[in-house]
């Protein structure tokens, strides 16, 4: 099971691969759409890659609730249990 720091680092790598953003730009308080400028298509790719990396399932109806990086980290952390 990954720690929250490991989840954040993993998400940062996934976002970097998808968007080219620097990994240190991906911080807990950042909004995916407003701060990181990630569109819905890129977000779905990030979700699929995160599901594979962390062996969790993120239902489509939950994706809209993942507004910030912290939302995603917390969701993945809880889904690992």
Which residue reads 């819905």 in tokens?
40
Q: Which residues of 64-75 are buried (b: 16+ CB within 10 A; e: fewer)?
A: eebebbbebbeb
3-state secondary structure of 31: strand
- For residue 65, the cross-strand partners are none
| Residue 24 is among the residues annotated as catalytic for this protein | no
Length, in residues, of the chain:
81
Q: Catalytic residue among 5, 24, 39, 71, which?
A: 39
Q: Catalytic positions, please?
A: 39
């Amino acid at each position: 099971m990954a720690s929250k720091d490991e989840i954040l680092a993993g998400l940062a790598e996934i976002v970097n691969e998808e968007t080219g953003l620097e990994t240190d730009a991906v911080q807990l308080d950042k909004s995916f759409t407003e701060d990181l400028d990630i569109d819905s298509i890129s977000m779905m790719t990030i979700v699929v890659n995160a599901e594979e990396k962390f062996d969790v399932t993120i239902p489509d109806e939950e994706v809209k609730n993942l507004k910030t990086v912290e939302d995603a980290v917390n969701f993945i952390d809880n889904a690992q249990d």
